[in-house]
């Protein structure tokens, strides 16, 4: 059954690090243009799952997987070129991670590595991405300044813009607001709501309230196991599983 609404399909995905399971036999899908929230306590496999999607886990020699992950119906390990995959599947890390170069060069990093060197074209990309990440007004006059001079929240939006500069289709957020104040967090969340019109978003968060605020659907992971995945409203009001209920009502984690 080919369902074209399903941007990402995860089939029997098991992940181990040096033999220790981090993700056990997960089966679910991510819909196009939705925000899928992933919640769960520490060591439940959330970040592992994200880093499998853009194959950043490949960098860890202890990493092994079995099962299949399909993006656009194509197996990410067998059918996708890993560098193309990472351009299509952008990632925003937990801590703001600008490179210690200018704002402009941070945004141009991906396109430049992709072979774009035309200054005008780069300037267009930088402007578009900054606008899409709601940072243009704050950054347009200081593009040549070091990105390290931005505030934490601005840096995180810069990282979103940097991802957008590659025109991805999926964006992975790995606890993007864990180091931010509430106002910066609200700005990131606004940006995400706007971005889902064009992109498919996956948000890993330790903050269940945040998951409730922005997600369309929510998946609950526990000890590497996908316990439950459903509409956000259902997860937070009438969860099917006792463990889900326990977590969202604050009994663990």
Partner 1 sequence: MKLGNAKLEEKVVFFFLFLSTLMIVVPVVLVIAVIISRGSSVLNWEFLTAMPRSGMRAGGIFPAIVGTFYLVAGTLIFALPIGIFSAIYLSEYSKRNLLTRIIELAIVNLAGVPSVVYGLFGLGLFVVFLKFGASILAGSLTLAVMVLPVIITASREALQSVPKTFREVSYSLGATKWQTIRHAVLPHALPGILTGAILSLSRAAGETAPILFTVAAFYLPRLPKSVFDQAMALPYHLYVLSTQVPNVRLELQYGTALVLVGLIVGANLIAVVIRSYFRAKKQW
Question: Cα 240–245–251 angle (5° rounding)?
Answer: 160
Alpha helices in the chain (DSSP H): 46-53, 82-88, 103-113, 119-132, 136-139, 152-164, 182-195, 208-214, 232-237, 242-248
Q: How many Å separate Cα 202 from the centre of its chain? A: 5
Helix 152-164 and helix 182-195: axis angle, to 10°? Answer: 20
Alpha carbon distance 194, 198 (integer Å) = 8
Told to check if 90 binds partner 1 by CB under 8 A, we report yes
Q: Which stretch binds partner 1 (CB under 8 A): 31-39, 112-120, 124-132, 191-199?
A: 112-120
**Nearer of residues 168 and 239 to partner 1, judged by Cβ:** 168
**Nearer of residues 45 and 110 to partner 1, judged by Cβ:** 110
Q: Which stretch binds partner 1 (CB under 8 A): 30-38, 90-98, 123-131, 207-215?
A: 90-98
Told to check if 97 binds partner 1 by CB under 8 A, we report yes
- DSSP helix/strand/coil, 187: helix
Residues 144-163 that bind partner 1 (CB under 8 A): 146, 148, 162-163
Binding flags for partner 1, 58-87, as an x/- string (CB under 8 A):
-x-x---------------------xx-xx
Alpha carbon distance 111, 195 (integer Å) = 20
Q: Which stretch binds partner 1 (CB under 8 A): 28-36, 109-117, 122-130, 213-221?
A: 109-117
Site residues (CB under 8 A) for partner 1? Answer: 54, 56, 59, 61, 83-84, 86-87, 90-91, 93, 95, 97, 99-101, 109-110, 112-114, 146, 148, 162-163, 166
């Amino acid at each position: 059954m080919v369902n074209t609404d399903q941007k990402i399909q995860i089939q029997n995905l098991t992940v181990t690090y040096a033999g220790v399971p981090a993700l056990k036999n997960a089966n679910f899908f991510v819909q196009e243009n939705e925000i899928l929230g992933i919640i769960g306590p520490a060591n439940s496999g959330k970040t592992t799952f994200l880093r499998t999607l853009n194959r950043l886990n490949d960098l860890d020699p202890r990493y092994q997987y079995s099962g299949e992950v399909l993006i656009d119906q194509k197996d990410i390990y067998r059918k996708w070129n890993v560098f193309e995959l990472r351009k299509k599947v952008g990632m925003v890390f937990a801590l703001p991670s600008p490179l210690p170069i200018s704002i402009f060069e941070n945004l141009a990093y991906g396109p430049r590595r992709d072979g774009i060197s035309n200054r005008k074209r780069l300037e267009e990309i930088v402007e578009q991405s900054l606008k899409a990440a709601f940072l243009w007004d704050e950054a347009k006059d200081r593009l040549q300044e070091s990105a390290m001079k931005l505030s934490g929240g601005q840096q995180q939006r810069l990282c979103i813009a940097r991802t957008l500069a590659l025109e991805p289709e999926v964006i992975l957020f790995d606890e993007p607001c864990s180091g931010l104040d509430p106002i910066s967090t609200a700005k990131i969340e606004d940006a995400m709501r706007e971005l889902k019109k064009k992109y498919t978003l996956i948000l890993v968060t330790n903050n269940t309230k945040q998951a409730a605020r922005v997600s369309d659907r929510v998946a609950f992971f526990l000890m590497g196991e996908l316990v439950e995945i459903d509409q956000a409203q259902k997860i937070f009001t009438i969860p099917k599983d006792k463990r889900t209920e326990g977590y969202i009502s604050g009994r663990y984690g």
